Amino acid sequence: MSNATLAVPPAPPQAPAKKWGDQAFKLITLLASLSIIVLIVALGYILYDSSKLSINKFGFGFITGTNWDSVAGIFGALPYIYGTLSSSLIGLLIAVPLSVATAAYLTDLAPVWLRQPVVSIIEMLAAVPSVIWGLWAILVMVPFLRDYIYPTMQKVLEPIPLIGQLFSGPIYGVGILSSGIILAVMIIPIITSVSREILRSVPNIQREAAYALGATRWEVTRIAVLSYAKRGLLGASVLGLGRALGETMAVTMVIGNKSDISASLFAPGYSLASVIANEFGDATTPMHQSALAELALVLLGVTLTVNIAAMLLVKTFTTKETRRVA
């Protein structure tokens, strides 16, 4: 109480010039950091504004329509939404087990001297530009899969009831499955590095407790580490999904660019991002441009929702950084 009355002496008045400089500097930096929020709002607004024409004309039917005919002026996005979702899910299906296993290997199972080099290699993997993955995929990976892997897959898997359909039909090489595979390659680095950070933040006492019960290395990893980190790992995977959904160049180069919805994974498809990439430059009618902008709006909405969900999942898991309060 007496402490409260013993007030801190008032700060000596600053020279006005100094104060002016301070405030100007603070304002400039504030504006720069607020640009982030302005950018997000602007992104949404500009896309909405440019797609108004198409939103007003097609309404919800835009999402469910299967016909995309720029000459007739009819635009339905379903084949593209299907292509984006199916290729991303295939990518995720391949990438998640590999990434989580690699992350577990790097945090718990690998010899210590090996960990940093492998982490560096995975960082390099993340630095390879999308267009280079696309180039390699279209000139090397796709021909290889088409000639050697897909025919065998078809022979083995097509007779199986229910899932056989997925592997039926002619094999072009390019298609949903191929783009799923290249997406897997591209999202593995991010899922692995986020998973690794999550596994590293699992308290060591978890591991020690499991070892004390006589668990083997794998049992420690499974019981004490992986199941403890479930939520965070889910977040890492969803983050990978967000990346896969928005990936443009590599997918455009290998998905086949055909707006069909086919049961077969070997069939060519089309994704939201690749339609935009292929058609936006040539779109001559305002309605066509507007429909493409609406595709971008849909894409933005989906990826942002997925990313935010992922960030929240990861955030609740990782240890809160102790930040200095300015």
User: 205 to 234, contacts with other proteins by CB under 8 A?
Assistant: 216-219, 221-222
Contact between 108 and 207 (Cβ < 8 Å) = yes
What is the residue whose two structure tokens read 């849909």?
Answer: 298
| Residue 286 CB, nearest approach to other proteins (Å) | 11
- Burial of 159 per CB tally in 10 Å (0-12, 13-18, 19+): exposed
The correct pick among 4, 37, 71, 162 for binding other proteins (CB under 8 A) is 37
Q: Which of residues 128-157 bind other proteins (CB under 8 A)?
A: 128-136, 138-140
* Exposure letters 257-279 (e unless 16+ CB within 10 A, then b): bebeebebbbbbbbbbbbbbbeb
In the complex, least distance from residue 92 CB atom to other proteins, rounded to whole angstroms: 15
Give min distance, CB of 297 to other proteins, in A: 9
313 binds other proteins (CB under 8 A): no
48 binds other proteins (CB under 8 A): no
Q: Of 86, 88, 102, 178, which one interacts with other proteins (CB under 8 A)?
A: 102
The 8-class DSSP code of residue 166 comes to G
* 109 vs 234 by CB, closer to other proteins: 109
Q: Count CA within 13 A, CB hemisphere, residue 262.
A: 22
Binding to other proteins by residue 122, rule CB under 8 A? yes
Please, which residue, 42 or 263, has the CB nearer to other proteins? 42
Rounded CA-CA distance 67/77 in Å is: 8
Which amino acid belongs to residue 266? F
Q: Cβ 2 to other proteins, closest distance in Å?
A: 27
Q: Which of 188, 194, 236, 255 binds other proteins (CB under 8 A)?
A: 188
